[in-house]
Structure 1
């Protein structure tokens, strides 16, 4: 975040300088700009790239950067009348507000206790850079990959999931969100109901509604989704699929109990339905997670989505969908039609990363850091906000905090942002009405344990005011 703001500030300064220069005049050298503005060479390079993209400078390797020729200012034109599009587009809409909230970096100075990715200091930046460099040097790195994904990467995902899964059951996709889109479109027609845990992941609600599906809530308690209410929901709606996060559920962090895992599969079998298992946080376990549902699935009931983005970095958009039988063919065909295939260099880089000796060391370090941060956050809550009921998750990045009755969680989150701490209101995570006010508070996104404590202190001051 700070790095991006430095690039923008330097670009603004250089933009003003360029406007005073003659076309073809040379800008100061990169070394001079580093010394004058006290920034890194990378910041200078990126600021010049911004100006080059705007057409204000021309960069010549080995010679430097030069002011570009001036273009005559275009005459002011009447804004185009785009009102006709409202009629052509109809009444269907795509609401990305919740996802935008989660993906937009907070302003500088704001403590981030919201977000879905590890803080950059916990990401394997150097191993990833080395893996990408090795992958990019291969002569065939930019050729078309094998349809369905690189065989070695499919085999790695199959071994990781375990059970009766084979590499032939695996298709490599462009990240977990793309996997959700592909699976939902492959399984369900528009206007169909989709059972979801309540609360649930914001992204699946956005994808389902954009695809014309109707999310139907099934409540979650401390042991995961309730099988009795799940059976009722299947009977009442005729739904043919359940979206579930049985391991380190987002946003609550719960793990579906061993007894309920078998019950959920039995309920789905009786309803003739699929279970879409989103296993996004398996590698973020503070405690060892149970085997995935698909490992005990005997009849192709479970469609499993495995993603490594949460345990690595946001832009490593590679995941896997695992399924058996006719549904697997439907998913492969849908993925092929929608995106052809994920970029081969990313597949190669991910394979390099997970095959290296540093991969288990990275996961071990992340688990230790998440345990320490979770405990630090809970200690801060006990000290500054004892009136909140906060769970103690065994994995993932978040705690789920119930607020006192009568508190507006959305208003509280907005006030907290103004006070310098970013948290997520609980209401958007519910597919229908929320039974109580909640906050989702992330311990894996802050820079340090002292920052976690300061974030809770700021949140306490807002709530108590």
Structure 2
């Protein structure tokens, strides 16, 4: 018996199906066994392959037929236009930093560190221990596990100078990531239609959260040393805003760290106008040549709403952050969080607490500082050697990103697409401006995978820049 393989039979049947009409009945299995001189098992494998490809369908007790190609009638969702009406505020699209990349791409666009920069061993062990403990089955308090509240409070307490009352654990609200915290803070403390002063450029997620909350963003220019306190005072005076969102340490996207004394100056302005500073300390664990000192450490009267995230430094799978707020502001934020999600997974809280209280956590942070420095310096050298058109205003002292100014007239959309076709993923700077961009910028993340490819990636960007300018 000439025992044809199932793949050969499937190929021949595919040719037969192409000439048959939809609904045509295939010969019986017995007939196919005889025709192809194959075993019933081999024929059945061929039929299973064609079924999996959607070419045929079996009708029990009747036979096997060529599957008819059904053209689905397009769904009509037009009724939703009238039901939903116009949105209160148009939401910006998801940032290009969230798009996926193939394994062989040189990825500068993402905002998350590569897994080799994470405390993987600590995380895996912590998740196992948390799954075996009570946190796997119990509901935590709405404000968070008391032990984790204490840890967040102690972290800020360590920077608090003598004479300033440090925060208490009860001032802390544990969040499922800082993004949800921003949404709650903007909704609870500003509210729809109210003004919110925001550094420009700034974190695109904060811009998104502001749009979702319906607040009116007031952009405030900010450079390598931070915003001008006089500009902030003018913005408060002219708009009546009482909320200012900022990243004093290693800002996303610029990497800027406020100059010495700038935090105290900004805090004086905030106090003068009876306002709040929302301090986003997302990069607290990513210092390279400096150690971040939160502005919140200088405040004990409730003017600073302090946000600290563990998502990027521990693991993106453990979305845990903490907000420290005092007085009625805390109660409003907690009420908003309760309406949004009731409480944060106790399992994730327990795992995060386990990681950051292990002796290996501090060892990891010391190693991380050196790894980030070598990556940053390699990318800076690569940019300066291969992208002469780009201007790097300052080398960041921490964080994860370089912020490059490109020549006026650069077509960022074309540049991004050209780089992607050449295997390099970059992020156009337009995502980080709450209003019109102040120029052509790109953000390059030096914490992504495969740092050995940084020089090649910069070379490709430089080539695409030349094409863009020609």
Please indicate, yes or no, whether the TM-score normalized by the shorter chain is above 0.5.
yes
Partner of 2:301: 299
Partner of 1:85: 80
Cα distance in 2 for partners of 1:233, 1:74 equals: 62
> Secondary structure, in 3 states, of the residue corresponding to 1:99?
coil
In structure 2, do the counterparts of structure 1 residues 284 and 141 end up closer, same or farther at CA, with 3 Å as the change threshold? same
Shift of 1:94: 7.4
Partner of 1:19: none
Structure 1 segment 388-427 matched on structure 2, within 5 A: 388-390=390-392, 391-427=394-430
Structure 1 segment 116-135 matched on structure 2, within 5 A: 116-135=111-130
Cα distance in 2 for partners of 1:222, 1:182 equals: 28
Cα distance in 2 for partners of 1:100, 1:225 equals: 24
Cα distance in 2 for partners of 1:275, 1:77 equals: 53
How many corresponding residue pairs?
398
Cα distance in 1 for partners of 2:276, 2:223 equals: 22
> Secondary structure, in 3 states, of the residue corresponding to 2:264?
helix
Shift of 1:254: 0.6
Partner of 1:437: 440
Q: 2:183 aligns with which of 156, 181, 189?
A: 181
Cα distance in 2 for partners of 1:96, 1:235 equals: 27
Cα distance in 2 for partners of 1:298, 1:359 equals: 29
Shift of 1:80: 3.1
Shift of 1:181: 0.9
Cα distance in 2 for partners of 1:166, 1:213 equals: 30
In structure 2, do the counterparts of structure 1 residues 191 and 96 end up closer, same or farther at CA, with 3 Å as the change threshold? closer
Structure 1 segment 59-138 matched on structure 2, within 5 A: 78-92=73-87, 98-138=93-133
- On the 8 A contact 2:243/2:276 being kept in 1, the answer is yes
Partner of 1:61: none
Partner of 1:265: 267
Q: Does 1:243 align with 2:245?
A: yes
Partner of 1:169: 171
Shift of 1:428: 2.1
Structure 1 segment 311-322 matched on structure 2, within 5 A: 311-322=313-324
Q: Does 1:146 align with 2:135?
A: no
Shift of 1:210: 1.7
Cα distance in 1 for partners of 2:102, 2:339 equals: 39
Report the TM-score when normalising by structure 2. 0.81
Cα distance in 2 for partners of 1:354, 1:409 equals: 40
In structure 2, do the counterparts of structure 1 residues 241 and 73 end up closer, same or farther at CA, with 3 Å as the change threshold? farther
Cα distance in 1 for partners of 2:97, 2:88 equals: 20
Cα distance in 2 for partners of 1:124, 1:140 equals: 21
Task: State the Cα deviation string for residues 373-424 of structure 1 (Å, max 9, x = none).
Answer: 0000011112112332112001111011111222123332222112211111
Partner of 2:29: none
Shift of 1:265: 0.9
Cα distance in 1 for partners of 2:400, 2:425 equals: 15
> Secondary structure, in 3 states, of the residue corresponding to 1:203?
helix
Q: Does 1:280 align with 2:279?
A: no
Report the TM-score when normalising by structure 1. 0.81
Unpaired stretches in structure 2, ≥5 consecutive residues: 1-10, 12-50, 53-66, 158-164
Shift of 1:279: 0.5
> Secondary structure, in 3 states, of the residue corresponding to 1:115?
coil
Shift of 1:283: 0.2
Cα distance in 1 for partners of 2:218, 2:346 equals: 37
- On the 8 A contact 2:314/2:355 being kept in 1, the answer is no
Cα distance in 1 for partners of 2:135, 2:432 equals: 43
Partner of 2:222: 220
Shift of 1:73: 9.5
- On the 8 A contact 1:446/1:452 being kept in 2, the answer is no
Cα distance in 2 for partners of 1:319, 1:241 equals: 20
> Secondary structure, in 3 states, of the residue corresponding to 2:244?
strand
Partner of 2:350: 348
- On the 8 A contact 2:135/2:350 being kept in 1, the answer is no
Cα distance in 2 for partners of 1:437, 1:361 equals: 39
Task: State the Cα deviation string for residues 62-114 of structure 1 (Å, max 9, x = none).
Answer: xxxxxxxxxx9997653332101011111117766653421222134221011
- Cα RMSD (Å): 2.3
Task: State the Cα deviation string for residues 300-333 of structure 1 (Å, max 9, x = none).
Answer: 1000111011112212111001000110111111
In structure 2, do the counterparts of structure 1 residues 461 and 74 end up closer, same or farther at CA, with 3 Å as the change threshold? closer
Cα distance in 1 for partners of 2:359, 2:276 equals: 37
Cα distance in 1 for partners of 2:407, 2:71 equals: 55
Partner of 1:192: 194
Shift of 1:367: 1.1
